[in-house]
Amino acid sequence: MHAYRSQTCADLNKAHVGQTVRLSGWVHRVRDHGGVLFIDLRDHYGMTQVLADSDSPVFSEVEKVRSEWCIRIDGVVKARDESLVNAKLPTGEIEVYIKDLEVLGAADELPLPVFGDQDYPEETRLKYRYLDLRRQSLHDNIMMRSNVVRSIRNRMWDSGFTEFQTPIITASSPEGARDFLVPSRLHPGKFYALPQAPQQFKQLIMVSGFDKYFQIAPCFRDEDPRADRSPTDFYQLDLEMSFVTQQDVFDAIQPVIGGIFEEFGKGRKVDTDWPQISYRDAALWYGTDKPDLRNPIKMQVVSDHFRDSGFAIFAKLLEQDGTEIRAIPAPKGGSRKFCDRMNKFAQEQGLPGMGYIFWREAEQPTYEQLGGREFGPPEVANHAHALAMKLDGQWKADKIPLEGGNWMEAAGPLAKNIGPERTEAIRQQLGLGVGDAAFFLGGKPKDFQAVAGRARTVIGDELKLTDTDRFAFAWIVDFPIYEKDEETGKIDFEHNPFSMPQGGMEALEGDPLKVLGYQYDLACNGYELVSGAIRNHKPEIMFKAFEIAGYGSDEVEKRFGGMVNAFKYGAPPHGGCAAGIDRIVMLLADEANIREVIMFPMNQRAEDLMMAAPSEPANEQLRELSLRVIEVDK
């Protein structure tokens, strides 16, 4: 028999009854049932119940065993009584009577338990990550991640892509984040960089004559942490293709990403129609360039309804250049309580508040309110959803007739300020009715659209409009290449400077703020999963693009000379993208924090509490690298 196990803790079933077996694993839980000790023995594969009664030759040894001790047991497989079968376990029909036991590794008192689902502070979980990883949910996440990566590799090979590895120690990358620098011992005073992405190398692979490249690439960026972003390193599916258009890239990556979500999505619906939405429309409709399309709410511009209106705040705001008023429809949100709650949300986001209108059922107006004219049921039906009270050019009441003789009215401070005609025009534009509401934000879009986007999310969640059992994808396209600094008037890059401008050199001769790039992102359920572009492979267009942003050709040559020089020797049109492995797995695992799908993540301060990194270098190391640490006042 093997020194440690004849089977794993997931293997045994009724077919093994009567056999002597050897198992090794961790003590998940110990239960004392009055002279009979039950142990749930756990390994990587599963769980088996083992037990010892007072007749066992090692009963006294079993009594000493505690949670998370690593042990080996020899025993005889026996069938459980039918009433005691555990249908939730593959091994639930049997149990093993212990005949021999060896403690392979005793455990001290645990800083956090493995059994159970208790919440523990993240700092404790990260310091003792090896214990945290023994917990079933986290163990399952890491296994899913491994299986996702394997599936991605298989799908990419099956699609005709070839896997290559690019350097880890390299020069600075044009990704826009901070580099992690690596000092050179052989070249004192000079530094390498860990790659933010294999961007330049994968483009050079295309210039080298290879056609369809991919790798599961480690990337390193010195960034501020977020729930959906690691502060130090992450992995991405990196790919590049020669002689392709933007649509070719979409067609190549959609079956891979869609297939992964179908394979690992636990039965949730995976949308197959991936709309292409312009960056500007995404900002307008959703307040973000990574919209969650499971939420059906689309914001709209309603500025004309407030221009020269009785609501002075919006009316004066619209007198300024570049301002507008946007409405967030809220189907089923038509109560003052909900509207007040959303107004408070806006204040918590740093805004003065959000204006709102909601529509509710109303009593039929009186004869006098109708200007001396009664609406009978047939006439009400004929005037359904019409502007009912506009009699002889004058409004006589604020109520609107509906089908079947019912009436509706608008409520809220905005409705009173702008009057019934404007209010009704807003309702018709937004397609709202009784029981619905709309919220309004105004100003320069860049100042409020992020809050509007978050408000849209909250409204969708609270009103249960968002379909949570679904993965909804959208390509965000037509990113602007340039933006203007409002204070200095300087033109600079708003997005990836290496994207091919739509229209090529001719586009760069016009207004820079109208230049769009062949750049694209893939959004899913409110997260950016993929980012990519058709590359600017022509040196003359690249130099012109940088010149517009104030970068001379000498600077371009200095920073990106390796890639620019390669483009002088017959570079093919090429493009590609990168998909975040961590975010993909985070979505599939239903986790809100990316650290739940990374085996050994950093904490919020970019510290590895388990390995005590970063740490101070020894003086000998600094001398060898010709470095000196300058103390910084804290």
CA distances to 90, 148, 591 from 270, in Å: 30, 16, 18
Cis, bond preceding 614 (omega within 30 deg of 0):
yes
SS3 for 588? helix
List the structure tokens of 546.
């940088």
Annotated ligand binding at 383? The verdict is no
Closest CA to 518 of 530, 507, 534: 534
SS3 for 349? coil
**Number of Cα atoms under 13 Å in the Cβ half of residue 612:** 3
Annotated ligand binding at 324? The verdict is no
**Greatest CA span in the chain, whole angstroms?**
103
Q: In whole angstroms, what is the distance from residue 401 CA to residue 379 CA?
A: 10
Annotated ligand binding at 175? The verdict is yes
Annotated ligand binding at 55? The verdict is no
How is residue 542 annotated by DSSP? H
For residue 228, count other CB atoms closer than 10 A to its CB.
18
Q: In whole angstroms, what is the distance from residue 51 CA to residue 58 CA?
A: 11
> How would you write 232-256 as a 3-class SS string?
CEEEEEEEEEECCCHHHHHHHHHHH
Annotated ligand binding at 153? The verdict is no
Annotated ligand binding at 228? The verdict is no
Annotated ligand binding at 134? The verdict is no
Closest CA to 249 of 470, 471, 477, 472: 477
Closest CA to 579 of 26, 156, 293: 156
Annotated ligand binding at 517? The verdict is no
CA distances to 188, 200, 222, 538 from 168, in Å: 20, 12, 15, 27
Annotated ligand binding at 574? The verdict is no
Q: In whole angstroms, what is the distance from residue 535 CA to residue 245 CA?
A: 10
Annotated ligand binding at 93? The verdict is no
Annotated ligand binding at 456? The verdict is no
Asked if residue 202 lies in contact with residue 241, where contact means CB atoms within 8 angstroms, the answer is: no
Asked if residue 20 lies in contact with residue 76, where contact means CB atoms within 8 angstroms, the answer is: yes
List the structure tokens of 128.
């003792």
DSSP for 133-182, written as a single string = TTSHHHHHHHHHHHHHHHHHHHHHHHTT-EE----SSB---TTSSPPEEE
Q: State the helix-helix crossing angle for 553-566 and 539-548, rounded to 10 degrees.
A: 150
Asked if residue 532 lies in contact with residue 249, where contact means CB atoms within 8 angstroms, the answer is: yes
Instruction: Give residue 345's identity as a one-letter amino acid code.
Output: F
CA distances to 187, 394, 436, 440 from 420, in Å: 75, 11, 16, 17
Q: In whole angstroms, what is the distance from residue 13 CA to residue 4 CA?
A: 19
Give the residue ranges of the annotated binding site: 175, 221-223, 495, 528, 535, 580-583
Annotated binding-site residues for L-aspartate read: 175, 221, 495, 535
Binding annotation for ATP:
221-223, 528, 580-583
